[in-house]
Amino acid sequence: MKKITIAIDGHSSCGKSTMAKDLARELGYVYVDTGAMYRAVTLFAMEAGFISPEGAVDVEALRKSMDRVRVTFQFNAETGRPDTYLNGVRVEDRIRMMDVSSRVSLIAAIDFVRAAMVAQQQEMGQGGGVVMDGRDIGTTVFPHAELKIFVTATAEVRAQRRYDELTAKGEVCNFEEILRNVQERDHIDSTRAVSPLRKADDAIVLDNSHLTIPEQKAWLLSQVASLLQ
Ligand code: DC
């Protein structure tokens, strides 16, 4: 059967990655979490001391070090999902923590960071059979993807989901702070100069505020099926 490219873009914390991972597994496709790549670069910058406590980024230092940043994925047989590695070190859980979440938009807005990540993403998706999630997949990375989905949900629903996820992992967190972080990231992601978050003209909108995961999955599979028949 023909292997297509599926681009899933949308706002932060609306379950894009859970949806994309499940879809990839169901279809036997490769899953690429591009947000994890920007998170890994952010962690690199934090560990190298390129981000001040006030949040200022030493852009020139990061530019000079970009060729030392290698983000890869390795399939984890236990979870059935790929884990993110930064220069060979597993950072899958570390990059989901609040300190990385609150800085990643700054790093993802830098042009040379995006150019490096987009080039890697295009290489990973060569030949199709890939489900890639992010913010600019349908607009910049794969503008000719056969299926483009733009996912959204209200900011409150998304903050609640992130709160539940972090609490389940044992992280102590505050709902209001998470809601502010979600709104702030929406703002930065949609207004940045390079590849701002926007719906591709030919993307299908999925508002999952009131959908269960099985309902969403059924909807997605029906979209794929109607393309492949
Ligand atoms: O999907 P996520 O929350 O893990 O994404 C982390 C950040 O990276 C978020 O602020 C948006 C940014 N991002 C991006 O700019 N482009 C992508 N393709 C994926 C994520």
DSSP 23-82: HHHHHT-EEEEHHHHHHHHHHHHHHTT-B-TT--B-HHHHHHHGGG--EEEEEETTTTEE
| The pLDDT of residue 189 | 82
| The pLDDT of residue 15 | 87
> Ligand 1 center to residue 38 CA distance, Å?
6
| The pLDDT of residue 73 | 93
- The whole-number mean pLDDT for each consecutive block of 10 residues of the chain, a chain of 229 residues, reads 92 89 92 96 98 94 96 90 95 94 91 95 92 95 97 95 91 93 88 89 95 93 90
**pTM of the model as a whole:** 0.90
Our answer on whether the CB atom of 135 is closer than 6 Å to any ligand 1 atom is: yes
Our answer on whether the CB atom of 12 is closer than 6 Å to any ligand 1 atom is: yes
| The pLDDT of residue 133 | 96
3-class SS of residue 84: strand
Our answer on whether the CB atom of 42 is closer than 6 Å to any ligand 1 atom is: no
| The pLDDT of residue 194 | 86
Which contiguous run of DSSP H or E holds residue 112?
helix 111-124
Domains and CATH numbers, the chain: 5-228 (3.40.50.300)
In a mutational test of the pocket of ligand 1, which residue from 12, 71, 161 has the highest number of ligand atoms less than 8 Å from its CB? Answer: 12
